[in-house]
Amino acid sequence: MTPSSKRAAAALMLLVGAGLLAGCKDQVESKQSGYRGTGMVQVSTAKQTAALAAANQVPEAQPPASQEGKRAKEVYQNLKVLGDLSEEEFNRTMLAINEWVAPEAGCDYCHNTEKMEDDSKYQKVVARRMIQMTQHINEKWKAHVGEVGVTCYTCHRGNGIPAYSWVQNPGPAEAQGMAATGTGKNKASWTAGITALYDDPFTSLLTDPGKIRLQTTSALAPGMSKTIQDTEMTYALMFHLSQSLGVNCDFCHNSRSFSNWSESNPQRVTAWHGLRMVSDINKDYISLLAAVFPDNRKGPLGDPAKANCQTCHQGASKPLLGASMLQDYRPALATETAPK
């Protein structure tokens, strides 16, 4: 090898080495989340952490408003929720909801601006019920949301339709003729963490969360007979949870004994309540709006888009990384308004 070719080879090796070092700049971060020796560690990279922080910025609260003066229902017509707020606080809350849900469309997104009390737009009817749903979550589901609570922004984040939701979708049959099944299996699915498990564990398990549990601590326990298909359905939902929260399985479970509640992390109890909360709001709020939504806002089987874990969490173990927006909108979104 000539001196010039040696120099060229050395330069190439330096370039390759620099490239390898550049690829190592994304520092791996780990956080122990359970007992030592059980592998209960959450792993992330600095880039992932930075991207998550950027995606979970919280908008500034609207300037405070006076709680004195006339009630909103004395000033405006057809107020079925938020009418007991002061006029100023009501307008402040409406401005916030506009920013959270339809910042570009403005009031037109929900209202007939020539007759604001009119209910002709389906978006207004839906928004009213979603406000009640938000109040319900904050008042009745503290076991999951705590005092941090939720607002419209938790799910919408500036979009009229939340980025993550689900509808019943049988999908194409996997074979033809008598062999056609359409079970939603054996296809790489984002829902189930790009596995070949069921791509819709929600219709079954978020309708009846009691079906999720597979393991028992005693032999031949009554009512605990589960099939392989049941197991695959539960695993699909667990993959969804892991992906939605950006965590490993041992964020909630003790990897030494997945079924043992006494050795699990506290987050498992929070998740238990969360699954039941999602079932509750899908059944008693969102699904009941099927007749209100137009066909283009419903799935192939006629059901409206519903919530799952990713709707709120969007890759973070705590929505918006634990920031509370509710504290700036009490009592408007914190106290449940009875349907009228």
Q: Is 136 part of any known ligand binding site?
A: no
Q: Is 24 part of any known ligand binding site?
A: no
Q: Is 249 part of any known ligand binding site?
A: yes
Q: Is 233 part of any known ligand binding site?
A: no
Gap between the Cα atoms of 309 and 316, Å rounded: 10
Cβ-contact 321, 183 below 8 angstroms: no
Q: Is the pLDDT of residue 175 over 60?
A: no
Gap between the Cα atoms of 111 and 127, Å rounded: 10
212-250: per-residue pLDDT in tens? 988 766 666 676 678 888 899 999 999 999 999 999 999
Domains contained in the chain, CATH given: 69-161+323-340 (1.10.468.10)
29-78: per-residue pLDDT in tens? 888 877 777 778 888 888 989 999 999 999 999 999 999 999 999 999 99
Q: Is the pLDDT of residue 25 over 60?
A: yes
Q: Is the pLDDT of residue 176 over 70?
A: no
Q: Is 155 part of any known ligand binding site?
A: yes
264-308: per-residue pLDDT in tens? 999 999 999 999 999 999 999 999 999 999 999 999 999 999 999
Q: Is 110 part of any known ligand binding site?
A: yes
Q: Is 252 part of any known ligand binding site?
A: yes
Q: Is 156 part of any known ligand binding site?
A: yes
Q: Is 1 part of any known ligand binding site?
A: no
